[in-house]
């Protein structure tokens, strides 16, 4: 057994035969440019990514799409409230029971539509406002919101074509890797 060298400026002692790893042959090429491992080893993704300094373009686009969806929903809400007023006026002037039943059914459907539009509008604005500082839950919420928008827009497809396209785009932009990196970034 050998003791460690007491003089730090002298040559290290020769290794004992058979107790060391064989010398690796030199690589036929030079080191990787800017290479070397970062302190603490490799990050979990395998490659070190630069710190995020601003919101990526796809995340910004998803945020703008959520605001546009909210504005379109407000326009639809105004139209639904106007339609509810017209159906209520028609229900008051209805004399037969069949006309009254149809008017009441129309009022019920319009009220349900107004509630759904209101919920979607509030969710779109709330999620869009959280993009700057929110965590991964905001990303997941925006993805689910985009999927729900897509499903609901199929119910009124010719009119909901814009919502269908925007729902697909929100899901795509919030599912990309740069969006995951943005919402999972460390916050100080």
Q: What is the pLDDT of residues 115-157, one digit of tens each?
A: 999 999 999 999 999 988 888 899 999 999 999 999 998 887 7
Of 180 and 134, the one with more pLDDT: 180
Determine the 3-state secondary structure of 104 from DSSP.
helix
The pLDDT score that the predictor gives to residue 169 is 94
Compute the CA torsion angle 82, 87, 93, 97 (nearest 10 deg): -170
Q: Please say if the pLDDT value at position 165 is more than 80.
A: yes
Q: What is the pLDDT of residue 149?
A: 92
Confidence (pLDDT) at 123:
95
Q: Distance between terminal CA atoms of the chain?
A: 51
HSE-up of residue 135 (Cα within 13 Å, Cβ side): 4
pLDDT of residue 91: 77
Using 50, 70 and 90 to split pLDDT, how confident is the model at 13? low
Of 186, 112, 178, 92, nearest to 139 by C-alpha is 178
**Residue indicated by tokens 């010398």:** 23
Q: What is the pLDDT of residue 20?
A: 58
Tokens of 171: 């899901």
Q: What is the mean pLDDT of residues 13-41?
A: 58
- Note whether 182 and 55 are within 8 A (CB): yes
Whether the Cβ atoms of residue 166 and residue 65 lie closer than 8 Å to each other: yes
Predicted local distance difference test score (pLDDT) of residue 132: 86
- The enclosing H or E element of 129 equals helix 97-129
Predicted pLDDT of residue 126 = 95
When computed from its CA atoms, the radius of gyration of the chain, rounded to whole angstroms, is 31
32: pLDDT strictly greater than 80: no
Distance (Å) of CA 176 to CA 77, 150, 169? 31, 18, 11
Q: Is the dihedral of CA 162, 163, 166, 172 positive or negative?
A: negative
Cβ 117 vs Cβ 73: under 8 Å: yes
Q: Is the pLDDT of residue 100 over 80?
A: no
Q: What is the pTM of this model?
A: 0.67
- Residue 164: closest CA among 176, 179, 152: 152
């Amino acid at each position: 057994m050998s003791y460690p060298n007491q003089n730090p400026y002298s040559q290290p002692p020769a290794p004992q035969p058979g107790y060391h790893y064989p010398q690796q042959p030199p690589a036929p090429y030079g080191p990787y440019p800017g290479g070397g491992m970062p302190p603490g080893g490799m990050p979990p993704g395998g490659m070190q990514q630069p710190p995020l300094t601003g919101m990526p373009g796809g995340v910004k686009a998803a945020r703008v799409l959520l605001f546009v969806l909210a504005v379109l929903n407000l326009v639809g809400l105004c139209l639904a409230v106007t339609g509810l007023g017209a159906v209520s006026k028609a229900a008051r002037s209805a004399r037969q029971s069949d006309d009254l039943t149809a008017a009441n059914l129309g009022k019920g459907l319009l009220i349900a539509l107004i509630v759904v539009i209101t919920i979607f509008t509030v969710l779109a604005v709330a999620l869009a406002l959280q993009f700057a500082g929110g965590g991964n839950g905001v990303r997941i919420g925006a993805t689910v919101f985009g999927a729900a928008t897509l499903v609901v827009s199929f119910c009124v497809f010719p009119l909901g074509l814009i919502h269908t396209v925007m729902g697909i785009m929100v899901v795509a932009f919030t599912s990309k890797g740069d969006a995951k990196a943005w919402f999972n970034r460390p916050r100080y």
